[in-house]
């Protein structure tokens, strides 16, 4: 009887040891998972990590005739109610599937500086088309310039 009781206790301890070992593995996975997620998304910011203002530069253009354009993300989103996917896009089968939790790529990733590639306008035309269409809908040249270059391209 003594030997049977001792065997039962040893089995229980061994099982508890296995359970503890399993819990340590589980804890290691749970603790390391956020680090893996952070490192895998480190290449591109998401929509929630974008600065309040960016400057649309002209580096790389064959002819750089106008100054850069300051763009106020926060103002467009909060004050004017412009959805992020009005500008940001990822087209699959002709449909914009981009969502705010996806990476925000630089426009030049798909839009070439100097020529149209497939359906993607050259970069300069993509900016002008997108900004001008939206500004023209507002209909107020003072608050949303779309005719005068100097309305957006400021020194």
Q: Could you tell me the CATH number of the domain that includes residue 86? A: 3.90.10.10
Q: Are residues 132 and 71 in the same domain?
A: yes
Domain shared by 35 and 79, yes or no: no
Domain co-membership, 64 together with 18: no
Mean pLDDT, residues 136-145: 84
Q: How confident is the model at residue 23 (pLDDT cuts 50, 70, 90)?
A: low
pLDDT band at 40 (very low <50, low <70, confident <90, very high): very low
Q: Residue 45's pLDDT band (boundaries 50, 70, 90)?
A: low
Which residue is it, tokens 């490192």?
39
User: Is 27 found in the same domain as 12?
Assistant: yes
Same domain, 12 and 68: no
Mean pLDDT across the stretch 42-47? 50
Share of the chain residues as helix, strand and coil, in percent rounded to the nearest 5: 50, 10, 40
d(CA 7, CA 118): 74
68/128 same-domain check: yes
Looking at the fold, whether 65 and 114 belong to one and the same domain comes out as yes
Q: Are residues 30 and 63 in the same domain?
A: no
Percent of all residues in the chain with a pLDDT value above 90, rounded to a whole number = 6
Query: Of the given ranges (32-46, 47-61, 111-125), which has the lowest mean pLDDT?
Result: 32-46
Q: Does one domain contain both 110 and 127?
A: yes
Tally of structural domains, the chain: 2
Top-confidence residue, 85 or 63: 85
Name the residue range of residue 3's domain.
Answer: 1-40
The whole-angstrom separation of Cα 138 and Cα 99 is 25
Does 36 share its domain with 53? no
Q: Is 152 exposed, middle or buried (0-12, 13-18, 19+ CB in 10 A)?
A: buried
Residues 110, 62 share a domain: yes
User: Is the pLDDT confidence value at 73 over 60?
Assistant: yes
CA dihedral (96, 98, 104, 105) positive or negative: negative
110 with 66, same domain?
Answer: yes
């Amino acid at each position: 009887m003594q030997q049977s009781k001792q065997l039962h206790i040893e089995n229980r301890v061994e099982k508890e040891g296995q359970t503890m070992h399993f819990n340590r593995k589980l804890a290691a996975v749970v603790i390391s998972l956020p680090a893996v997620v952070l490192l895998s998304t480190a290449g591109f910011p998401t929509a929630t990590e974008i600065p309040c203002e960016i400057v649309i530069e002209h580096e790389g253009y064959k002819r750089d005739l106008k100054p850069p354009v300051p763009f106020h993300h926060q103002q467009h989103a909060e004050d004017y109610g412009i959805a992020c996917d009005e500008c940001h896009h990822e087209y699959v089968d002709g449909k914009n599937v981009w969502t705010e939790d996806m990476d925000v790529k630089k426009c030049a990733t798909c839009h070439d500086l100097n020529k149209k590639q497939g359906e993607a306008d050259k970069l300069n035309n993509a900016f002008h088309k997108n900004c001008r269409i939206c500004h023209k809908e507002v209909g107020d040249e003072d608050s949303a310039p779309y005719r005068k270059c100097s309305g957006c391209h400021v020194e």
